[in-house]
Amino acid sequence: MDKQVKDKRTAIMDAALKLFTERGFHGTSTAQISKEAGVATGTLFNYFPTKEDLINSLYFEVKGQLSKSMGKEIEAQSTFQGKLRKIWSNLINWGVDNQEEFLFVGQFCSSPYISKFTREEVMKEYVFLHELVDEGIKTGEIRDFSADLTISMFYQGSRAVVNLLLDSGHLQDKNKIIEDGFQIIWRGLANN
């Protein structure tokens, strides 16, 4: 992909992220996205034939970024609890550092505009998390709850922590709040 094509696509994606987060799917027109991106509406349609294609591409890209961030340095952790703590910390720090993306994922994670195909492809990026939870259950580190439920509760708990940090201005206490949040989750999961 040449630089000009990449720049236009990136501009469209950035504009869509901003506008979808601010105005929602129905409140955002392709004309608004084109204007915000500084491209012609026809150019937008060259990259994304429909608004649904655009939101699915954006969702896939943002969730991929989140997955990569969550998985950073987990192999350096020697214990199951350490790996889970690292994923937790990575997830929350990503949310604090990428507020628009964080809001977008929360806003559109249950959206009917995200296709089944996109959801299935995105979940391939999170196999490492499912494998870790399955390992924790198998070794008796955590309780034998549904892996999907465990991951959902983990994610929703992290959203609460990110919202607390962003809404309350407690960023100076970020590390303590991240650890306290992890302890709440861990005590609910730990098999002891």
97-133 pLDDT, tens digit each: 999 999 999 999 889 999 999 999 999 999 999 999 9
Tell me which architecture the domain covering 51-189 has in CATH.
Answer: Orthogonal Bundle (1.10)
Could you give the 3-state DSSP secondary structure of residue 190?
A: strand
Instruction: Work out the pLDDT band at 170, boundaries 50, 70, 90.
Output: confident
- What average pLDDT does range 159-163 have in this prediction? 94
Is 119 within 8 Å of 150 (Cβ atoms)? no
Measured in residues, the chain has a length of 192
Q: What is d(CA 1, CA 131) in angstroms, rounded to the nearest whole number? A: 34
Could you tell me the residue ranges of all domains in the chain?
1-49, 51-189
Is CATH 1.10.10.60 correct for 1-49? yes
